[in-house]
Chains A and B, each alone.
Chain A
């Protein structure tokens, strides 16, 4: 009996250890390697670097091809995030605060982009957009990114709305506020951190998106992920390590802020 319990806890420790090992090996090590490489001063990839310096970063920031790609990512990501949040927020209110029938089905519909396989969906979008001339058009890309980001808005803001008791609006109304004033002044006000977090998630979803931009971006729309992808295809320019490091650090910081807001 005791031997079996000991064996079981032994197995559990091994499971925990292998989990940690896997995360470290398959995530941290490559990430650290890339970051180390980014500080190499050589014009080719060699690990470990013989010379250290900011050469790759200078090359990155002074190259208009790359800086244009970053700007392009922003011009797609910002509108996509605004659109996703703008649609998701009222949807969450409708799902949570109304008596509409089939609310469950509507919620599943809103979350469906998470479930549909990315490449299949992208191909479907390609054939659809081709009909209405939205290939290579930033509007097409913004729309698809907004749809991809919508589930995150619904999940994050939805969870926050559930934590806000309905009585707050009701009591505000008895105190003289109209229903709209109560919803905006009280509930919306309390939702601001969650809305912020949802916006950031939506933005990052678009910023990091590499599949759709390849299908419907056409030759002209070069966002940062597409630029990285192209670069890897045509041969490895070491400045890519700088791009990757900057991308990871910035995304990491922004996500931490979003997580903090979400936990408010």
Chain B
């Protein structure tokens, strides 16, 4: 019953989503999402537009109500509480600073709502501005600040009242590349100093990889995978994760036999042994997720998969060459090869490429969770 859940022992999770569903009439924006975010964790919700990541954000913040399912903050059911009652800090992409208030008053807003004494407010604001590196700018108005400075004010404002959870909606999207890299470093530093739980929403996978402890990948309203960036990259659990997140090439294959974690597949008329990213059915349709760095010009001995194709384009990027080829039976394949000075790869020539199958993982269309995995339900 409802009451019982609220009295469960504290599971140590800052945020928990249980079977969260959100539909707009016929359209299912979220289909039964289950997610647990640990205290102090930096979790990124990553996905393309329309994947449901923004819907999750709005539901957790309290701007919209769920169709069904529950949202728990530190163990309490907040599914139907107003945003004010949830006490969550939030940072938007467009900063949303109050234009008619100074930096000081912006940061003070949440404290004023909570009726902190003037002195306590002043001390806390000074502390926050120091934390985000804006000491001395308290009297400025938002329009007198640069984009990066405005974003820092937004951050200081969200953290001022000491929320246990901070939500960030693509906060670095409006900044140019240089600034984005710097702000990301600032975010990591602030996260380390405060240990606030951070749920960060973005479509940028590089950002996700550099910032997060774990990444939750959303696809078409469902949570496809939750894991550390390293695991998601080296052991993708589905076709979507392999291509959208890791950017691997996908080569169709057919599963012959399985043996624990390993599988024997038939691919391009060759038989190879690869690791399985998820539990697959025998003779089901599968793909080999091949990182572009796992493709080279020389044979890999016994663990080799040969691809024949024609070169389309070769981009010289300093240390490496990014080669795009059309492979028979597959389509476009991208390989990243070390540039050794003397190499000259002509366009539109026949080429033989070799895949190191030790670095390849087999995946299927549907994401499945491995037993004992460290994903959403751990």
Contact = CB atoms under 8 A, between A and B. Distances in A.
Interface of A: 165, 167-168, 170-179, 186, 189-190
Contacts of A174: 61-62, 83-84, 86, 88-90, 158, 167
A173 B62 CA distance: 9
A171 B98 CA distance: 9
A171 B84 contact: no
A172 B109 contact: yes
A107 B109 CA distance: 34
Interface string B147-169: 00000000001100100000100
B83 A170 contact: yes
B114 interface: yes
Contacts of B161: 175-176
B100 A165 contact: no
B61 A177 contact: no
B100 A190 contact: yes
Interface in B161-214: 161, 167
Interface residues of B, number: 25
A190 B83 CA distance: 22
Task: Give 8 nearest A-B pairs by CB, closest first.
Answer: A176-B113, A175-B110, A167-B96, A173-B83, A174-B90, A171-B96, A176-B84, A174-B83
A11 B161 CA distance: 66
Interface string B12-43: 00000000000000000000000000000000
B109 A167 contact: no
Given A170-B92, A175-B158, 8 more contacts: A170-B63, A171-B92, A172-B98, A174-B62, A174-B84, A174-B158, A177-B109, A178-B82
B136 interface: no
B99 interface: yes
B111 to A, nearest CB: 9
B292 to A, nearest CB: 39
A37 B359 CA distance: 95
A179 B63 CA distance: 10
Nearest to A168: B96
Interface string B51-84: 0000000000111000000000000000000111
B98 A168 contact: yes
B262 interface: no
A21 to B, nearest CB: 41
A257 B205 CA distance: 51
7 contacts: A167-B92, A173-B82, A174-B84, A176-B87, A176-B110, A179-B82, A190-B99
Interface in B231-251: none
Contacts of A186: 98
B113 A177 contact: yes
B237 to A, nearest CB: 33
A165 B96 contact: yes
Nearest to A189: B100
B116 to A, nearest CB: 11
Contact of B61 (A170, A178, A179, A189): A170
A190 B98 CA distance: 9
B297 to A, nearest CB: 52
Nearest to B58: A170
Contacts of B90: 170-171, 174
Contacts of A190: 99-100
B96 A177 contact: no
Which has the most chain B C-beta neighbours within 10 Å: A175, A178, A186, A189? A175
Nearest to B167: A174
B150 to A, nearest CB: 13
